[in-house]
Amino acid sequence: MIETSPTTMVVFLLYILGVFVLAGLSHKLLSKKSFLSEYFLGSRGLGTWTLAFTFAATSASGGSFGGYPSLIYSHGWILALWIASYMMVPLCTMGIMGKRINQVARKSNAITIPDVLRDRFESPAIGIIASLTIVFFTVCFLVAQFKLGALIIEDTFNLTFSLAYEISLVIFAVVVVFYTSYGGFRAVVWTDVMQGIVMGIGVLVLIPIVMAKTGGLENATKTLAQRDPIAITNVPSPDGAKGTHNDLAFQATGEIHPAGVIYRRPEQPNAPLSIVWQADQPEDAYVEITMASDSTGDAISTGNDVKQAIEEHSELSSILDVILPYKNDKIEIVDGEKVSRGATGVIGFPGETTEYKYVMLYGHELVFGPGRNNTGKPFHTLGMVISFFVFWAITGMAQPSTMVRLIAFKDSKTLNRAIMTVTVYFGMIYLPIIAIIIAARTVLPVLAPEDSDRAIVLVATRLVADMGIWYQILGAIFIAAPFAAVMSTVDSMLLLISSCAVRDIYQRSIDPDVSQRRVKIISYSTTAIAGILITIAALKPPDFLQLLIVFGTGGLAASFLFPTLLGIFWKDMTRQGALAAMIGGFCTTTSLFAPTMFGGSRLDILGLHPNLWGLIVSMTLGVVVSKMTGPAPEHLVRRYFYK
């Protein structure tokens, strides 16, 4: 395996240093201006480039550089349809509400989104509920982002010792929490601009290199469509942890393809490992592997045992290749030499689990829809196609971290130019990333699901490591790109949490006469405390990054879209209507997601995503309750809808 070069590490460190410098500069400005509106809003002075890049970098989140490439790696071209709504994201998310919400915020002197809602409806309850909702969902979102940030550090510096992830996580947390809490909104925005440019350049430069090193996209797509089927396992160890040297990839190489692989818990003590396969009905015959057990009946077989058993099997040995996925080969240092130990982890069956089933995925399933995941469920069904088209463009509009940027820009002209800039920028990033990952699949190692988050980082680090010094500097930029994406999302989210706590909960609800000095102390410390709590949660992060992000993004937007949208465009919206819309959206989305917390799957009624139902319920409640409780107070209508 090629390792990251020292040049890359140096450039990476310089980049982090640059972020600190920006935080220092913006901290200086803080002492000159009104603290709260500067700390949380940059004194409403965003210009075209700052608005465009802070907007793009925030919404292009770690999702695009972690979860998104990971999904492309697992499901292929269908991700073009999954992300297609981004063709309209800049125009929808900035154009629909931008001008109007900025104006309403000015009318009410609001500096946060809960502020806007509280003043528009003259309701402290709405302000507080909005703040709490933001804090809840943002924390979910941030845990995933912290995990990704730590993985990038771990990968960049080739950390392979036992606590590598934990230490990387702490480093990441310290960097981000420090510059965010020290520099405030303006530091976040400036680093966003720097990071946005880094991300854009990263992708643009990566394209020709990947194409040259992999034989091009045309070749990659055609090869992929014809690829032999592969089943990639993703089993936990006895304590439930995943990714601990027990995953294997089974590639079918013969004329006959098994349907997949099933691991079974041993049924009695002291049983040997056994393999059953009905070769006469290959279409639906799974390779059934029952683990060996010890004297207490617990499974004791490791990945290596399974690999060996398949290789010694009379029929399967000729039609199945067993491959160790990336990072699943345990390397030990013996007498200064690296020795490969293979998949040494025990395949465990924690809790009530009695079997794991993994299907063979054919290459053509990565070229056409709907694709499948490794347990065999279809990936992007028609219901999801519709849901995601609504999700990115419409739901995305109501992300609080997006909306806060819309109340921070300087004037209409700024907004107009920024929409065009972001449109071009997204076009340059999202589709090319698909091309990069698809082409790079041909040279990347097989990635187990928990490692597929690393796909883009691996492309960036491995492909350029053996090229000249200039390429290595460019390589470092690619590594900074995903890192930049994560940081720019994390910093604005952290600030969002502390702005809710300080402005909406403390200053406006507990102590309106709080002094500037005290506000400062509280602001710095909430940002820092939030960072610490999230770090602790990210120590044992949940399985799949993107699910969490979708959960967080959808939940927030389902709570805020209609209260805000109807609030600024519909005179008859009442405070009760807004409250009903907010609570209804939140409850619908979370309750449809709730089964996932207990090991089930989320409820997609009629095949549509919970977020879509959240929006539908939220809108209906908003309209119906407003009609029932109207008319809206006249002074509010006059204030916000008339000159």
Using CB under 8 A, pick the residue from 314, 337, 340, 517 that binds other proteins: 517
Using CB under 8 A, pick the residue from 34, 274, 354, 375 that binds other proteins: 34
Output 264 or 417, the one with its CB closest to other proteins.
Answer: 417
Q: Which of residues 59-118 bind other proteins (CB under 8 A)?
A: 77-78, 80-81, 84-85, 87-88, 90-92, 95-97, 99-100, 102-103, 106-107, 109, 111
Q: Which residue type, as a one-letter code, is found at position 199?
A: M
Query: Binding pattern to other proteins, positions 310-349, x when CB under 8 A?
Result: ----------------------------------------
Q: Which of residues 416-445 bind other proteins (CB under 8 A)?
A: 416-417, 419-420, 423-424, 427, 431, 435, 438-439
d(CA 338, CA 335): 8
Q: Which of residues 211-240 bind other proteins (CB under 8 A)?
A: 216-222, 225-226
Q: Which of residues 457-516 bind other proteins (CB under 8 A)?
A: 507, 512-516
End-to-end distance of the chain based on CA atoms, in angstroms? 67
Smallest distance from other proteins to CB 215, Å: 10
Following DSSP, what letter does each residue of 61-125 receive, concatenated? HHIIIIIHHHHHHHHTTHHHHHSGGGGTHHIIIIITTHHHHHHHHHHHT--SHHHHHHHHHT-HH
Q: Which of residues 586-615 bind other proteins (CB under 8 A)?
A: 604, 606-608
**Pair type for strands 286-290 and 274-276:** antiparallel
d(CA 91, CA 114): 24
Output 368 or 470, the one with its CB closest to other proteins.
Answer: 368
Q: Which of residues 176-205 bind other proteins (CB under 8 A)?
A: none
Smallest distance from other proteins to CB 361, Å: 12
Alpha carbon 254 to chain centroid, angstroms: 38
Output 84 or 164, the one with its CB closest to other proteins.
Answer: 84
**Sign, Cα dihedral of 613, 618, 620, 621:** positive
Smallest distance from other proteins to CB 334, Å: 45
Output 138 or 574, the one with its CB closest to other proteins.
Answer: 574
Following DSSP, what letter does each residue of 250-305 receive, concatenated? EEE-SSS--SEEEEE--SSTTPPPEEE--TTSTTT-EEEEEPPB-TTS-B--BHHH
Q: Which residue type, as a one-letter code, is found at position 313?
A: H
Nearest to 128 by CA among 582, 609, 594, 605: 582
Output 15 or 425, the one with its CB closest to other proteins.
Answer: 425
**Own/partner pairs, 12-21, CB within 8 angstroms, 24+ separation:** 12/156, 12/476, 12/479, 12/480, 12/483, 15/198, 15/476, 15/480, 15/483, 15/484, 16/175, 18/194, 19/175, 19/179, 19/191, 19/194, 19/487, 20/178, 20/179
Place of tokens 């990069």: 436
Output 73 or 277, the one with its CB closest to other proteins.
Answer: 73
d(CA 386, CA 406): 27
CA atoms within 13 A on the CB side of 598: 5
Using CB under 8 A, pick the residue from 47, 136, 572, 616 that binds other proteins: 572
Smallest distance from other proteins to CB 265, Å: 28
Smallest distance from other proteins to CB 502, Å: 11
Output 147 or 441, the one with its CB closest to other proteins.
Answer: 441
Smallest distance from other proteins to CB 105, Å: 8
Smallest distance from other proteins to CB 36, Å: 6
Q: Which of residues 612-631 bind other proteins (CB under 8 A)?
A: 619, 622-623, 630-631
Output 323 or 431, the one with its CB closest to other proteins.
Answer: 431
Output 150 or 568, the one with its CB closest to other proteins.
Answer: 568
DSSP letter for 361, please: B
* Structural element, H or E, at residue 339: strand 337-340
d(CA 43, CA 33): 8
Output 25 or 420, the one with its CB closest to other proteins.
Answer: 420
Smallest distance from other proteins to CB 191, Å: 23
Q: How many residues bind other proteins (CB under 8 A)?
A: 101
Smallest distance from other proteins to CB 437, Å: 13
Smallest distance from other proteins to CB 199, Å: 19
Question: Around Cβ 422, how many Cβ atoms within 10 Å?
Answer: 23
Instruction: Answer yes or no: are the C-beta atoms of 38 and 178 closer than 8 Å.
Output: no
Output 106 or 540, the one with its CB closest to other proteins.
Answer: 106
Nearest to 549 by CA among 12, 60, 34: 60
Q: Which of residues 111-170 bind other proteins (CB under 8 A)?
A: 111
Q: Which of residues 350-409 bind other proteins (CB under 8 A)?
A: 363-365, 367-370, 378, 381-386, 389-390, 393-394
Output 146 or 409, the one with its CB closest to other proteins.
Answer: 409
Using CB under 8 A, pick the residue from 570, 591, 602, 629 that binds other proteins: 570
Instruction: Answer yes or no: are the C-beta atoms of 322 and 306 closer than 8 Å.
Output: yes
